[in-house]
Structure 1
Amino acid sequence: MEAQLLRTFVAVARLGSFSAAASELGYTQAAVSQQIAALENDLKTQLLNRRPVVPTEAGARLLEHAEPILLRLDAARADVTRMTSTPAATLIVGVTPLAGATTAPALAAALAELRERMPRLDISVRTGTRAAVAFGVARGELDIALTDGLTAPGDPLPELAPVAATGVSQAGVAVILPAGHPLAARRALRLPDLADSRWIEAEQVAPPLAEIRRLAGVDGFRPAFGYAGSDTLTLIRLAAAGHGLTLLPQPALSPEPAAWAGIIAVPVTAPRVVHRIELIHGTLRESSPAAELAAILSAR
């Protein structure tokens, strides 16, 4: 199978339209149709129903393989480019909102030290979800990134993309409850006991409920409220107003209780989970801005 045919197939399946895929890829609609026909001929099976344009059972299975394959091809191209190109005078750093909130002082200090070493370096920081940051590093769109997620103590985060990952820190997590919540007086909580509670889905700034559900090992944790922003304080205020529970790493909570009026943070003791922050990157060329930043952060 040719990579170009796979890319066209993924675009058509994702967009549900031959014409939309043609517009996105810069082809004619006829060329897209020909490429899909060539792929189906190669595999000797129909991959897409035409009306509506949705994957067949075989197409859905191919899609599961195609997207990781294409990501690895992009990662390989980006990795080779990083090794052979002249180091750029720019550095693009990715960061997930929670990783940024919990490492802001260290990251700011590291970037300041890097700027002293490389005064003419142009630095930009971009925020995104864990998946967006991982894929951005793999594809060479980001030079280096700080990402975060929940895992068992000492375990790495599940791989989302073919990138190198180094643990930076790990910390306990706490359930954020309104002060008047029946469980607010508890000294510790078990996640399985909260499966039927009202939860806030806030994937930009808190662990996704699907991740909490997986780690708790029970069904439940259904969203009662959705927050699509990336501000931790707003999420905490939503929890304080009774819109639902949320889970945050303890370092993200201010040591000043007055800053979080109306909420109680109760540590999670079962199952044993931690909030882990990782530094992720592709191949680091010696003395490149990304390699220098990685060394500074590791030293800190």
Structure 2
Amino acid sequence: MDPHLLRTFVTVVRRGSFSAAARELGYTQSAVSQHIASLEADLGTVLLFRRPVAPSEAGARLLEHAGPLLIRLDAARADITRMAATPNAAVAVGASPLAVKPRLPAALAELRRQHPRTELTLRVLSRQAVLDEVSTGALTLGLVDGIAAPSDPLRLPEVAPLTGVVRAAGDDELVAAVPADHPLAGRTSVRLPDLADARWIDAPEAGLPLAQLRANAEFGGFRPALAYDGTDVATLAALVAGGHGLAVLPRPVAEAAPGVIGVPIAEPRLVHCVEVVHAGGLDGPAAGLFKALT
């Protein structure tokens, strides 16, 4: 059923005249007559008596349906027009590799559920690049990770104008990631100072920088046997599994890596934490994402 024909039918009944309906709708009188004839042909029954103009029994029943149908069509048109006129919100998120899981995917899924038209971008960058691009406005939000005492903030470099720095919900236990056949693999825990002279993989972006271990543990050592200059956590885990050196990782990351065993670090008491940073002015989907993460 053509809604244009239905609108003509309703107008003719309301005005009681083909000519009056034609003037209101901007059609010729013959066009109005053709609309009514086409609608009657479509439904296979007479809808209007012509002299005088009045609805038939079928026309009266159609009139009962026509009002709500046309209102819904007008509402749908207005809604789509407003949607088309409103630009899509855009949220660009940057995260250091170990800051991506497990919180961010779930938070992004919730954002898409609540704001399906949001243009969403996720970039995995170095920690410094995340901070730099949030401060310049290239990123809406940033997630950076690191090592800290359970109640301490991360030691982030000074970057302006970061007006929001909030700890993400939940910290992860740190473990020494070792190959499955390593002598430490069967231990229930290990002291970090006892590993200071072990062979380490220096992967400052894909893993936790050895410099952070030294700074938080407040002792030396942790000399690299191999350097990995990349951001792929899976590659770092494969290097550990291959016996190229140890790494300190969040427990969920180590447990998910094939051929890697995570031995809990009992001393000093440190955790892997993620901080969410922004440069202010969050609203709409970005504000909702920030709330979901913190």
Deviations 1:121-152, CA, capped at 9 Å, x for gaps = 32111111111111211121211112111000
> Does the CA contact (< 8 Å) of 1:114 and 1:293 recur in 2?
no
Deviation by residue 1:25-49 (Cα, 9 ceiling, x = unmatched): xxxxxxxxxxxxxxxxxxxxxxxxx
Q: Which residues of 2 match residues 161-172 of structure 1 at below 5 A?
A: 161-162=159-160, 163=162, 164-168=164-168, 169-172=170-173
- Which TM-score applies when normalising by structure 2? 0.65
For residues 291 and 104 of structure 2, the distance between their equivalents in structure 1, rounded to whole angstroms, comes to 17
Shift of 1:90: 1.8
Deviation at residue 104 of structure 1 after TM alignment: 4.3
Aligned to 1:290: 286
2:236 paired residue number? 235
Q: Distance in 2 between matches of 1:115 and 1:253?
A: 33
Deviation at 1:187, TM superposition (A): 1.1
Q: Secondary structure at the match of 1:183?
A: helix
Residue 252 of structure 1, CA deviation = 1.9
Is the counterpart of residue 180 in structure 1 residue 181 in structure 2? yes
| Structure 2 partner of 1:81 | none
Q: Choose the corresponding residue for 2:123, options 96, 121, 126.
A: 126
TM-superposed CA distance for 1:288, in Å, is 3.8
Which stretches of structure 1, 4 residues or more, deviate above 4 A after TM superposition?
none
Task: Give unpaired runs (5+ residues) of structure 1.
Answer: 1-86
Are the aligned partners of 1:177 and 1:246 in contact in 2 as well (CA < 8 Å)?
A: yes
Q: Within the alignment, does 1:206 sit opposite 2:207 as a pair?
A: yes
In the alignment, structure 1 residue 273 sits paired with structure 2 residue 270: yes
Which residue of structure 2 lines up, in the alignment, with residue 146 of structure 1? 143
Instruction: Check conservation: 1:284, 1:290, Cα contact below 8 A.
Output: no
Equivalent-residue separation in structure 2 for 1:176 and 1:236 (angstroms): 8
**Larger C-alpha radius of gyration, 1 or 2?**
2
Task: Give SS of 2:92's match.
Answer: strand
Amino acid at match of 1:209: L
| Structure 1 residue 181, shift from structure 2 partner | 2.0
Quote the Cα distance in structure 1 between the aligned partners of 2:197 and 2:177. 15
Q: Matched residues in 2 for 1:194 and 1:152: separation?
A: 19
State the one-letter code of the partner of 2:210: L
Equivalent residue, structure 2, for 1:156: 153
1:63-122, Cα deviation, whole Å (9 max, x unpaired): xxxxxxxxxxxxxxxxxxxxxxxx983211111111113324323323323433xx1x32
Whole-Å separation in 2 of the counterparts to 1:178 and 1:296: 35
Aligned to 1:156, the other structure's residue is in SS state: coil
Match of 1:103 in 2: 103
Q: Which runs of no fewer than 5 residues in structure 2 stay unpaired?
A: 1-86
Amino acid at match of 1:107: A
The count of residues paired between Structure 1 and Structure 2 equals 205
RMSD between aligned residues: 2.1
Distance 1:238 1:230, change over 3 A: same
Q: CA deviation at 1:171?
A: 1.3
Give, as a single letter, the amino acid of the residue that structure 1 aligns with 2:287. Answer: A
